[in-house]
Structure 1
Amino acid sequence: MRVHTGKTELTCVLLDMCVTYRGEVLGVHYMDTTDNMKNNYLDESDSHAVAGTRILLEMDIKKDEEVLHTSEYVYLATGASSLCHTSNFQWKRNVDVYLVVSVKNLGVWVQHLIHNVEHIYKVTGDERFELVIVDYQSGDLDVAAELRASSLPRWKVISMTGGFSRSGGLQAGIDYVTNPDAIVMTIDMHLTLPPGFVEYTRRHVVQGKMGFAPMFYRLNEGRTEVTRAGFWETLTYGLLGMYKSDWTTTGGFDVQKYTTKWGGEDWDAVDRLRSKGLELFRLGYPGLVHYYHTRAGMWGH
């Protein structure tokens, strides 16, 4: 396959790998390129057997000592030999991203999350994201004080009363965001988010078209990122990102049905997303890991 970018022509050999999304197959390709390529990049595709394949193509192109990074969705029609630009399906750069989590107690894990997100900021310098912690009267940590002591330029604590509700807390975080053109991504405390997580989210959420539910690697008991052993978790949508306008269109979380019930609220939200005609992209994200934990001391356990 040849990719034409102005006067620079790149010859790419695509090697197939696959990940599974609810019975569909998404091709994932690695690019072996000419010397014009500065780096090899992951090239993801969503295959549709009849129409063709939509590809997120990412490359660093070097020309006369100048490096240009490109990341955009292109389309390869079935039987075609050239790529097409998808003008009605593109991700937006420099979009605000809100990371929303609902918590009660478990202060050590809340500290872990804050330090993790702080690391993202220090590595990337990205000031267009905000950590939103919805706190149900935690008694073991002053969440606001912890955030004030951090280096994060943007954060918000929303105080809630009553019994803990994951769906209610996440919905409160979603409602806090007023900009319809911002992305809201629900997250969890028991994770390590890679430094590129915020930008990765931007690239996989398309307004009015597609949400994103990255899959994480669930570590077995006693395992760490160094001594890892576990499996890719495909049966949860605990991390779910959409534009605020799409959260509004889909109705968000069912806070009545899942008031204090823990589990199932994410599947329900995905069903709402699909019922409105939006796609959902799933991909195992290297470096996104979930730590083993018991439910002892957690909300009602």
Structure 2
Amino acid sequence: MPRRGLPLQGRVRWLFLGLFLLLVLLLFAYLLECTPPGDVSMVPPGPAGETYGKEYYQALLQEQEERHLNRAASLKRQIAQLKQELQEVSEKLKILQEKKELPGVQGLAETKDQEPGDLLEYLHSQIDKAEVNTGARLPSEYALVPFESFTSSKVYQLEMGLTRHPEEKPVRKDRRDELVEVIEAALDIINNPDEEDGVEDDMPMQRQMYTEGHFTEGLYRTERDKGTLYELFFAKEDASSFRHVTLFRPFGPLMKVRSTSVETSGLIINIIVPLAGRVETFLQFLHNFREVCIQQDRRIHLTVVYFGQEGLQEVKLSLEKMSSEESFSNYTLIPVDEEFSRGRGLDIGAHAWNKGNVLMFFCDVDIHFTLEFLNTCRLHTSPNKKVFYPVVFSLYNPAIVYGNLELAPPVELQLIHKKDAGFWRDFGFGMTCQYRSDFLNIGGFDLEVKGWGVEDVHLYRKYLRSDLIVIRTPVSGLFHLWHEKQCADELTPEQYRMCIQSKAMNEASHSHLGMLVFREEIEAHLRKQAFKTQSKTEE
């Protein structure tokens, strides 16, 4: 038995060894079949692998080199462009600095040729933003920036505080230089007109040259985000033909906006006065009207709208007397048997005119005006374009200003712009110059308003919210004469508040009111000083 087992075990071992060798051979054959030749990965595909590989890499290198060269050329172009832009900006700043240092006329003359195009476009865009050619719609009366008016020697200003005065000489050198520069620039424009100015090209010997003596008045205002707008007027010898020059300084050199001729010889002003009672005050008004409108201007129509019957006959007789003495018939008296309403009276007066469009001046009976104001009224209004809201200089109570009413001088001598004599009535909007067509188109007054105030503010707000330009500026030739105010109990709370405010501000200046408040203290001090003086004398 043992001998038979040995051959069987040997066969099994040889069988396993054979299977193992067979598996090794199969694995080796598989590896040989799947593994590529050793130099295939080093040569690109193709029949001539080694030669094609060099051209391929040369092409790649050339492409990269061209890409870098193009990038370098692009950067060089950008650098050159930036250098050019930097040079242009430097030239602009240099030009602006030179214009700032040069006198006004030279700077204005060089603007056309030296200013770069984009800068000029920016400056003109500032003109478009400012209220030069059309009005801006404003939310309320507080949003309007008023003008300040000036002559060759005086400035009439609203913002006074406690130290400045309503009428001042331009004390600061920069203010003087600014106004002189503006006047000189305007004179240069008028005396050397362009074709666009619409002035006939007369011979130099025939053309009338303008000087500073022809300058009549000017307005200016500064808006912080735009610049300063100037309106200047020059009068010819006949005083009815004016040259109007508009200049604008958009926080840079002066720029000419336009230069036009303004003819006022045929412009009639219809002065409309609503009235109820106050006959003595009306007689004083007629005295001023006769001297200014009839004896000097003679281009005026007077419309008086009288409410009620009391005093109507006296008013009628006074108008007839003036008419016969002055040969003046351009007036209309309209009796109205209604309760007094200022807005209603002005509305009746405006609708009563039946001779086409006319320039109207809404006036109160306690207003004193000059010939210069009538010209200002004509110059600052234009149908379908501009309305004029002058700021009146309101005189204080003469009994306080002069210590006693009996010591007060005549009215003509009280018409001065002094801080203790009066103030600019910048919260009043009742006095206005506007064309009849604009008044009707805007809708006129709110006729539901009765009594004092408010109706003029409503009309003013209508114009602010329209496309018309509202000119608001203090006027040296327009005065509100003091009279005692009565605030009726029938007024609404808003009307009564405005009436009391007007009454308080109408009495006296800050210093004079202070003297009244501390009068007892002052008198006590004077008594003590008198007692000390007397005691020293007795010793």
TM-score bin, normalised by smaller chain: 0.7 to 0.9
Asked whether the equivalents of residues 38 and 60 of structure 1 are also in contact (C-alpha less than 8 Å), the reply is no
Measured in 1, the distance between the counterparts of 2:352 and 2:246 equals 34
Kindly indicate whether residue 409 of structure 2 is the aligned counterpart of residue 238 of structure 1: no
TM-superposed deviation, 1:226: 3.1
1:207-265 per-position Cα deviation (integer Å, ceiling 9, x unaligned): 11111111111111125553561211000111012111100111111112x1x231101
Measured in 1, the distance between the counterparts of 2:259 and 2:249 equals 11
Instruction: Specify which structure has the higher proportion of strand.
Output: 1
Measured in 1, the distance between the counterparts of 2:283 and 2:148 equals 37
Give the structure 2 partner of residue 247 of structure 1. Answer: 439
Measured in 2, the distance between the counterparts of 1:111 and 1:168 equals 23
Measured in 1, the distance between the counterparts of 2:422 and 2:226 equals 36
Measured in 2, the distance between the counterparts of 1:215 and 1:85 equals 26
Q: How many aligned residue pairs are there? A: 277
Alignment of structure 1 residues 53-92 onto 2, 5 Å: 53-59=228-234, 70-76=242-248, 78=250, 79-85=252-258
Kindly indicate whether residue 375 of structure 2 is the aligned counterpart of residue 185 of structure 1: no
The residue identity in structure 1 corresponding to 2:271 is L
Identify which of 258, 265, 271 aligns with 2:455: 265
Asked whether the equivalents of residues 174 and 244 of structure 1 are also in contact (C-alpha less than 8 Å), the reply is yes
Give the structure 2 partner of residue 206 of structure 1. Answer: 382
Kindly indicate whether residue 223 of structure 2 is the aligned counterpart of residue 102 of structure 1: no
TM-superposed deviation, 1:185: 1.2
Asked whether the equivalents of residues 91 and 205 of structure 1 are also in contact (C-alpha less than 8 Å), the reply is no
Provide the secondary structure at the position in 1 that maps to 2:413. Answer: coil
Give the structure 1 partner of residue 413 of structure 2. Answer: 226
Give the structure 1 partner of residue 75 of structure 2. Answer: none
Measured in 1, the distance between the counterparts of 2:484 and 2:304 equals 22
* Runs (5+) with no aligned partner, structure 2: 1-103, 107-141, 153-178, 185-209, 402-410, 492-539
Kindly indicate whether residue 147 of structure 2 is the aligned counterpart of residue 26 of structure 1: yes
TM-superposed deviation, 1:282: 1.6
Measured in 1, the distance between the counterparts of 2:234 and 2:380 equals 16
Give the structure 2 partner of residue 277 of structure 1. Answer: 467
Provide the secondary structure at the position in 2 that maps to 1:168. Answer: helix
TM-superposed deviation, 1:101: 0.9
Give the structure 2 partner of residue 217 of structure 1. Answer: 393
Provide the secondary structure at the position in 2 that maps to 1:83. Answer: strand
Asked whether the equivalents of residues 38 and 61 of structure 1 are also in contact (C-alpha less than 8 Å), the reply is no
Alignment of structure 1 residues 101-180 onto 2, 5 Å: 101-124=273-296, 126-140=297-311, 141-150=313-322, 151=326, 152-180=328-356
Asked whether the equivalents of residues 137 and 161 of structure 1 are also in contact (C-alpha less than 8 Å), the reply is yes
The residue identity in structure 2 corresponding to 1:288 is L
Asked whether the equivalents of residues 361 and 434 of structure 2 are also in contact (C-alpha less than 8 Å), the reply is yes
Give the structure 1 partner of residue 372 of structure 2. Answer: 196
Provide the secondary structure at the position in 2 that maps to 1:2. Answer: helix
Give the structure 2 partner of residue 41 of structure 1. Answer: 216
Give the structure 1 partner of residue 138 of structure 2. Answer: none
Measured in 1, the distance between the counterparts of 2:318 and 2:236 equals 42
The residue identity in structure 1 corresponding to 2:258 is H
Asked whether the equivalents of residues 225 and 289 of structure 1 are also in contact (C-alpha less than 8 Å), the reply is no
Instruction: State the percentage of identical aligned residues.
Output: 19
Instruction: Please tell me the root mean square deviation across aligned C-alpha atoms, in Å.
Output: 3.4
Q: Pick closer, same or farther for the CA change 1:67–1:216 going to 2, 3 Å.
A: closer
TM-superposed deviation, 1:202: 0.4
TM-superposed deviation, 1:73: 3.9
Which structure has the larger Rg over C-alpha atoms? 2
The residue identity in structure 2 corresponding to 1:226 is L
Measured in 2, the distance between the counterparts of 1:300 and 1:189 equals 22
Asked whether the equivalents of residues 37 and 60 of structure 1 are also in contact (C-alpha less than 8 Å), the reply is no
1:260-296 per-position Cα deviation (integer Å, ceiling 9, x unaligned): 2311010001111222222221221113221221235
Measured in 2, the distance between the counterparts of 1:110 and 1:299 equals 25
Range with greater deviation from structure 2 (291-300 or 191-200): 291-300
The residue identity in structure 2 corresponding to 1:2 is V
Asked whether the equivalents of residues 145 and 223 of structure 2 are also in contact (C-alpha less than 8 Å), the reply is no
Asked whether the equivalents of residues 304 and 333 of structure 2 are also in contact (C-alpha less than 8 Å), the reply is yes
Provide the secondary structure at the position in 2 that maps to 1:169. Answer: helix
1:136-164 per-position Cα deviation (integer Å, ceiling 9, x unaligned): 13423532221121124411101101211
Measured in 1, the distance between the counterparts of 2:385 and 2:476 equals 25
Given the two structures, how large is their TM-score scaled by the length of structure 2?
A: 0.46
TM-superposed deviation, 1:198: 1.9
Instruction: Specify which structure has the higher proportion of helix.
Output: 2
Asked whether the equivalents of residues 95 and 181 of structure 1 are also in contact (C-alpha less than 8 Å), the reply is no
* Runs (5+) with no aligned partner, structure 1: 4-20
Measured in 2, the distance between the counterparts of 1:268 and 1:247 equals 12
1:50-82 per-position Cα deviation (integer Å, ceiling 9, x unaligned): 6655432223579xxx99964314233634545
Measured in 2, the distance between the counterparts of 1:197 and 1:290 equals 13
Asked whether the equivalents of residues 104 and 299 of structure 1 are also in contact (C-alpha less than 8 Å), the reply is no
